[in-house]
């Protein structure tokens, strides 16, 4: 497994966010290209930014810090003890960071994929990256809700970094 440190996550947030902006701007209006490319990049930017904040603000250690420094100092009940254990769970990261629903409203799922396997599938926010990574067509209203959610998190992270 590759090790990425806190500042790598901070740098990756900015780079991936900027790449999503550039890709979205490069796509022609009403393009035959689906929206999932910029969405996937935004998701990963948000994930990196939130993991950076978990470590910096909440002092949740990365695995490499635990192995270098010994025991896990922060064992907050109900939350993973290491940054990597949050995986793609953006909602759980926001909760750990104590971000209020007034600041970033969390859209309710499940969200839907149109067509494909079984005529459609459902997923939660933490599975959105899979829908976009595999090029699945997300219901347009769900796509809009997820995009708005990601944009609000990006603004929050920018304000914290």
**Domains held by the chain: number:** 1
Confidence category of residue 86, pLDDT binned at 50, 70, 90: very high
Question: Is residue 1 one of the residues assigned to a domain?
Answer: no
Least confident of 102-106, 112-116, 154-158: 112-116
Q: What is the pTM of this model?
A: 0.89
Element (H, E) at 88: none
Which residue matches tokens 């990049």?
Answer: 41
Q: Does residue 111 belong to any structural domain of this protein?
A: yes
Distance CA 130, CA 71 (A): 33
Query: Which structural domain range is residue 117 located in?
Result: 6-160
User: Alpha carbon of 70 to those of 34, 65, 111, 141: distances in Å?
Assistant: 46, 8, 40, 47
In this structure, is residue 22 part of a structural domain?
yes
Q: 113 pLDDT exceeds 60?
A: yes
Determine, yes or no, domain membership for 75: yes
CA angle 147, 151, 156 (to 5 degrees): 150
């Amino acid at each position: 497994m590759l090790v990425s440190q806190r500042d790598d996550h901070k740098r990756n947030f900015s780079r991936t966010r900027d790449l999503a902006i550039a890709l979205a701007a490069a796509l022609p209006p009403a393009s035959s290209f689906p929206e999932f490319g910029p969405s996937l990049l935004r998701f990963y930017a948000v994930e990196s930014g939130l993991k950076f904040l978990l470590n910096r603000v909440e002092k949740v250690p990365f695995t490499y810090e635990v192995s270098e420094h010994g025991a896990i100092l922060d064992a907050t009940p109900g939350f993973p003890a290491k940054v990597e254990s949050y995986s793609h769970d953006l909602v759980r990261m926001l909760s750990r960071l104590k971000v209020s629903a007034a600041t970033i409203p969390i859209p309710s799922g499940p969200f839907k994929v149109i067509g494909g396997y079984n005529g459609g599938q459902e997923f939660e926010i933490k599975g959105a990256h899979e829908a976009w990574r595999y090029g699945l067509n997300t219901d347009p209203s769900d796509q809009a809700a997820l995009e708005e959610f990601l944009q609000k998190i990006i603004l929050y992270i920018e304000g914290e970094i």
